[in-house]
Amino acid sequence: MGVLIKNGTIVTAENEFKGDVYIAGGKIIAIGAKLGHRPDDEVVDATGKYVLPGGVDQHVHFSFTYNGSKVRGFETSNAAAVGGTTTLIEFVNQEKGKGLIETLEAYKASDADGIAMVDYGFHSVMTDPRDEVIEEIPKLAEAGYPTMKLFMAYKGMFFHADDDAILKALRKGKEAGVTIMVHAENADMIDVLTKQLIAEGKTEPYYHAVSRPPVVEAEATRRAIYLAELAGAPLYVVHVTCKEALEEIKQAYNRGQAVFGETCSHYLVLDTEDLARPNFEGAKYVCSPALRTAEHRQALWQAVDRKWLNAISSDHCGFDFAEQKHMGFGEGKSFADIPNGAPSLQNRLNILWTYGVCEGKISRTRLVDLFSTMPAKINGLDTKGHIDVGYDADLVVFDPEYRGIMSAQNNLEGVDYSPFEGFEQKGRPETVFLRGMKIVDNGTYVGQKGQGRFVPGKPYGAAYED
Ligand code: URP
Ligand code: ZN
Ligand code: ZN
C-alpha cells in the first residue's frame, strides 16, 4: 500500500511549489500535479499545508553524563518525531581503554537498536587519543560513522581534548573523509574564571555565563580554525553562539578555508536573562556555551539566513530540573556543579517556524536547508533531508494554522521542564512519515518503539565539498 499526499506546498532547500507526493516501499516514488493512486492507497489531503522533508538533528545527547548524572535516552526519541525530526545523530563518548568503533557498536546495540523511534546515526567523540585510537579514525568512515567530535571545553573531565589530539584527529580524519567537529571553548579560561567567581561567592546559575564569556568561545574557535588550516582539513564547529566566533568562521571561510558551523534552537530565542531567573530556575538554562545577550541572538539569526552558519541543531540534553539541575544548589555548591545542557528535542522546527519564518527572519526554503538538507549532507546521509524521487519517504505535513503553547506537559521528552515553557507556537507537524510509515497523526505519536533504523553515513560529507 502506498500513500498519496495531495495538494500540499512542497518545500525544499531550493524552492517551493504546489503538488502531490506519492510514496511506497519506504521511498518517494513520484512528485507532480494531480498524481493518480491505487484504490487501497491512503490519501492525505495537504491542502493549505506545507510538505517538508523530515528533519535531521545532528546534535543530540542521549548518553551524556555530567558529574555522574545521566540524561534521558532513545526511549524518548518519539519527541523528535512529534517535532518533525525523523533522523537523529547522537554524540557517543569513547569509553576509556576501548576503541572508537567498539564503543559505538556496544552503545548502539544496548541503547539504540530496538528502542529508537526515528532513524539514527552516531558521531564518535574521542576521549582517549592514544596512537592506536588515532590510527583507528579512518576506519570510522568505513563503519558508517564519518564524523568525530572533540571537546575543547570541560577541563578536568575525561572527555576534554587538547590541541595535540585535535591536530592529530584533523590530519588523520582527512585521510578518509571523516569530518572533525569541535565544541570550541577555551577550557583554561573557563577554569580560571570559575574558580575566581566561586571564591567571590558568586555561585548562582547566572555566573555560568560570566565564567564563559564570548571571548572564551572566540579564542577556541579561532584556534581550531588554525589547527584545521595547518592540517589542511575541513572543520565543523558545533553550537556557535556569539558574534565573535561567527566573525572567526566568516573570515576563515572568506580566506577559502572549509569551515562549517551550526547554532542551536535555544541560542536563537533564549538569553542571559533566563539564567538570572529567581528560585534557582536559572539552572534550567545552564548549557555550554552559555546563553548570550539579545545582540548575539540577532547576529545568529542573520548568520543562519545568510548561510554563514549551515545548520540548526537542538543540542538536546535531557537532564531533569528537580534532581539533576539541583546538583548545583546548596551549601558548597555552585553553577559549576549543574549538569550542562537543556532539553529541546521536540521544539526545533516549532521554534524555527514561529520565531524564524513567521517573524520574517528566514524563508521556508532556508528553514528546510537548516533543519534537514544541510545536516543530512554534512553527515553523508544521501537518502535523507530532501524531497525528490528516490529519497527516503521521511516527510512532514505541516499545518501553519495550528496555534498552541510549548510546555513540558505536552511534550514527550520525558524531562520535568522545558526551557521554552509558555512560548507561543504557530503551526505544527501534523502528520509525519518515517520511510513511508506514519509515525505522527494529527500531532500525536502513533509509531512504535524500535521502528527507527541505524543509517550509516558516507564519508566526505558537505564540509569536504567546498
Ligand atoms: O551544555 C551542553 N551543550 N551540554 C551537552 C554537551 C555539550 O557540550 O554539547
Ligand atoms: Zn558541546
Ligand atoms: Zn552538545
How large is the average pLDDT for residues 101-106? 98
**Pick from 440, 442, 458, 457: nearest CA to 77:** 440
Mutate to test the pocket of ligand 1, among 57, 58, 59, 61 (most ligand atoms within 8 A of CB): 61
CB of 315 closer than 6 angstroms to any ligand 1 atom: yes
* Cα four-point dihedral sign 313, 265, 394, 453: positive
Which among 66, 267, 340 is the best mutation to test ligand 1's pocket, defined by most ligand atoms within 8 Å of the CB? Answer: 340
Judged against a pLDDT cut of 80, whether residue 227 lies above it is answered with yes
Residue nearest to atom 9 of ligand 1 (CA): 315
Residue 466 has pLDDT above 70, yes or no: no
User: pLDDT tens digits, residue range 179-216?
Assistant: 999 999 999 999 999 999 999 999 999 999 999 999 99
Residue 434 CA to ligand 3 centre (angstroms): 25
- How close is the Cα of 91 to the center of ligand 3, in Å? 8
Coil, strand or helix at 71: coil
Ligand 3 centroid to 126 CA: how many Å?
Answer: 14
7-26 pLDDT, tens per residue?
Answer: 999 999 999 999 999 999 99
Mean pLDDT taken over the chain: 98
Which ligand lies nearest the alpha carbon of 182?
2
CA separation for the pair 465, 460 (Å, rounded): 7
Q: Determine the distance separating the centroid of ligand 2 and the alpha carbon of 399, expressed in angstroms.
A: 33
Question: Does 317 sit in the ligand 1 pocket, CB within 6 Å?
Answer: yes
CA of 61 to the centre of ligand 1 (A): 8
Share of the chain above pLDDT 90, in %: 99
pTM above 0.95, yes or no: yes
Give CA separation, 377 vs 145, 180, 201, 384, in Å.
13, 15, 47, 8
User: From the CB of 340, is ligand 1 less than 6 Å away?
Assistant: yes
Ligand 1 pocket test: which of 212, 239, 319 has the largest number of ligand atoms within 8 Å of its C-beta?
239
CATH number of 54-382: 3.20.20.140
Q: What is the DSSP string of 394-419?
A: -EEEEEEEEEEE--GGG--S--S--T
Question: Is the minimum distance from the CB of 341 to ligand 1 under 6 angstroms?
Answer: yes
pLDDT of residue 67: 86
Q: Which of 63, 315, 316 to mutate to test the pocket of ligand 1 (most atoms within 8 A of CB)?
A: 315
pLDDT of residue 333 exceeding 90: yes
Give CA–CA dist 57/315, Å, rounded. 8
Given this model, what pLDDT does residue 142 score? 97
Element (H, E) at 268: helix 265-269
- Ligand 1, atom 5: closest residue by C-alpha: 341
pLDDT at 165 over 80: yes
Q: How far apart are CA 43 and CA 95, in angstroms?
A: 48
* CB distance 225 to 200 below 8 Å: no
Here the cell at position 110 is 544496548
Judged by its nearest atom, the ligand closest to the C-alpha of residue 89 is 3
Which atom from ligand 1 is nearest to the alpha carbon of 340?
1
Distance CA 349, CA 430 (A): 12
